[in-house]
Structure 1
Amino acid sequence: MLTQAVTARPRSTGFLNRTLQSNGITYRYQVYVPAGFYERKGKWPVVLFLHGAGERGTDGLQQTQVGLPASIRKHMERWPAVVVMPQCPAEQYWTMPAMYQMAMTALEKSTREFRGDAQRIYLTGLSMGGYGSWKLAATYPGKFAAVVPICGGAILPAVLKANDAPNPTLYGQFAQAIGRSAPVWTFHGAQDSIVPVTETRQLVAALQAAGGNVQYTEYPEAGHDSWTAAYDDPALPQWLFQQHLPRTGK
């Protein structure tokens, strides 16, 4: 007679495939779940990562190869968090409402599925995702405990090239919307030939003028790839996970 209990299969951790429906369209995304997740009780911090233009597509994989996901593979011990990685389709941008709404849907689904802590939800992105990070931080003030935009901005490079005098008030609008809702640590390379470093400089100045909590790291010799140095800096996750929104209720 069989008396031994059947052992349950271990639940998966690592980079996991997921899908979601948004506005009638199916999108693939990935969620990184740390090893030991199921052995530890309680809620977990959650990071929403927005990739750059080069990782756009529909395979649900490209966005895991560059930036924060690449740093996680090298330094898993530094990133004890659930990391949500949506993918923006070709020809789309994170600053488009349909795209940032899709990203927020992926974040909400993952927060529910993986015991996310609403007081420790963080936002970061690189290049096009840096633009998306500024946009989402301004659109959803009070949602994120901290924001880390890397080589992003407010006005897209194509607009800057096509118009010698783009609307300069947009920097102030972003800064006023973000205000003191979340601390910001932003990064940019001084030699960036894709996104002008002036984009980050102007946003930092506007946020300082608005009374925001912002710190800025500019790499003097770096070009567009300022994200590798930023995500590989152990000081970044140490700072990030110290930030949290005020607890409400009992």
Structure 2
Amino acid sequence: MTAPVTRRTVLAAGLALPVAAQTPGRAGVTVGFTLNARVLDGGEQIVSVTLGTARLGIDPASLTAGAFTVHAKAASPIPLAPDELIFSEYDVDRPVTAARLDRHGDIVLDLAHAEGQVGGGTLGYIANRGRNVRLDLTYTITQNTPLRGRHGRPISITAFTQGRLSNPEVDAFGHHVSGSGMKYRLFTPGERGRPLIVWLHGGGEGASLPDGYYDNETTLRANRGALGFATREAQRIFGGASVVAPQSTSFWMEDGPRFAPQIQEIIQDVVRRHAVDRRRIYVAGCSNGGYMSLKMTTTYPRLFAASVPVCGVVASLQPGGPRLITDAELAGITTPTWLVASRDDTTVPPEANTIHAHDLIPGSLMSLYDQVVWNGYRFNGHWSWIYLARNDPRAGGTRVWQWMARRRR
């Protein structure tokens, strides 16, 4: 249920410079470039572009923010019907805030980016399908003024070739597919016998789209839910931990009882391959994944050392319909549980879901925020997973990551 906003990139040719700007110095220079991304709390954005200019010997004094223009176009990777609405497609110039050389001698163009900013995201949200998709990105770079080489010669780049999308946090998670066909991403710190954290995504990051679109990407790019546990701070708190993020073939609430064994299969495979400490397996998830976190602890009561469902669904999806998780199931949960939600969540109202679950789960903790605000920016009230990803929930002086790390099955 995440609203953001495959490495699907295409080649983009830069516009030629005026003849007067090309005639001196080296003509016909072509360079490749990399799109550098970062996952903000509201989703992934392209924050800079790196031009492969190391071989050209650029004089850094000749670099200015106005030396290049960066144009970005983002489009849906799958065909859409005329009446379908996708959020966060764009066709805009990206403001260049700074130009610099990195330690290799490549030019880095820093781009304006911020929470809620349109025109830099990597994901689009197809409204009627409730799904995020990786947008096809086409970046076009134009050099506006000649640069100088270290020996004073002018350098004009006449063509630019788009390369890969780089995000070190996301790229640290390997791509995998389970025996039953469920895709997942896995971060491992390289040590054996460590704990395992299972992150279960929201509805927006599932599959069940036309043309076989099942990307194994949006689970990490839509928010920092899984990435937070792979940060240096979290790894220090947990003493090093593997982090696994399965991706539903549709959405968890469609059929939790069917998905539970598939998730358990992934967990057991990771445990076996990486000698995970079986006493320290933790599960957390948001929205659809908050529901699935609770479902996993009702289905496998002896598997997890702790559970953190965020804005999880337990009530019926239809008025008067059966609960997704019954009161008896909630009352029977024995896994230590810490629930997180925001009072202004209109997508999954906390009273019938998080608060109701807290009232029934024996010994559970709950962090109930008034709204979702981080670094001065107010997010949609449904996005309370931001607080878990930032280790903000606390009880009795203990923060949620530390509480999780101390639990043993």
Relative to the length of structure 1, the TM-score reads 0.78
The residue identity in structure 2 corresponding to 1:201 is I
> Shift of the alpha carbon at 1:132?
0.4
Partner residue of 2:172 out of 14, 18, 38? 14
> Shift of the alpha carbon at 1:130?
0.2
Partner of residue 43, structure 1:
193
Distance 1:172 1:55 in 2: 28
Partner residue of 1:148 out of 295, 305, 308? 308
Partner of residue 360, structure 2:
206
In structure 2, relative to structure 1, the CA distance for the partners of 1:188 and 1:62 (3 Å cut) is: same
Matches within 5 A, 1:174-193: 174-178=329-333, 181-193=334-346
Distance 1:218 1:129 in 2: 18
Between 52-61 and 233-242, the greater mean CA deviation after superposition: 233-242
Distance 2:335 2:405 in 1: 13
> Shift of the alpha carbon at 1:226?
0.2
The residue identity in structure 1 corresponding to 2:355 is R
Matches within 5 A, 1:71-90: 71-72=228-229, 75-79=231-235, 80-90=240-250
Partner of residue 288, structure 2:
128
Residues 51 and 67 in structure 1, CA contact (< 8 A), matched pair in contact too: no
The residue identity in structure 1 corresponding to 2:346 is S
Q: Secondary structure at the match of 1:241?
A: helix
Distance 1:146 1:169 in 2: 21
> Shift of the alpha carbon at 1:93?
3.1
Partner of residue 55, structure 1:
205
User: Which one has the bigger helix percentage?
Assistant: 1
Residues 184 and 216 in structure 2, CA contact (< 8 A), matched pair in contact too: yes
Partner of residue 27, structure 1:
182
Distance 1:92 1:149 in 2: 13
Structure 2 residue 262 is matched with structure 1 residue 102: yes
Q: Secondary structure at the match of 2:266?
A: helix
Identity of aligned residues (%): 25
In structure 2, relative to structure 1, the CA distance for the partners of 1:64 and 1:170 (3 Å cut) is: closer
In structure 2, relative to structure 1, the CA distance for the partners of 1:169 and 1:50 (3 Å cut) is: closer
The residue identity in structure 2 corresponding to 1:69 is A
> Shift of the alpha carbon at 1:95?
4.6
Partner of residue 248, structure 1:
none
Cα displacement string for residues 134-170 of structure 1 (whole angstroms, at most 9, x for unaligned residues): 11111111111000000003125xx2xx31x344795
Structure 2 residue 385 is matched with structure 1 residue 227: yes
User: Which one has the bigger strand percentage?
Assistant: 2
Distance 1:91 1:244 in 2: 30
Larger radius of gyration: 2
Partner residue of 2:407 out of 243, 246, 250? 243
Cα displacement string for residues 159-186 of structure 1 (whole angstroms, at most 9, x for unaligned residues): 2xx31x34479542122321xx221111
Residues 63 and 85 in structure 1, CA contact (< 8 A), matched pair in contact too: yes
How many residues end up aligned between the 2 structures? 213
Q: CA RMSD in A?
A: 2.1
The residue identity in structure 2 corresponding to 1:203 is A
Distance 1:224 1:169 in 2: 19
Distance 2:198 2:252 in 1: 18
Distance 1:196 1:111 in 2: 35
Distance 2:307 2:343 in 1: 21
Structure 2 residue 367 is matched with structure 1 residue 217: yes
Q: Secondary structure at the match of 1:192?
A: coil
Residues 131 and 153 in structure 1, CA contact (< 8 A), matched pair in contact too: yes
Relative to the length of structure 2, the TM-score reads 0.49
Q: Secondary structure at the match of 2:279?
A: strand
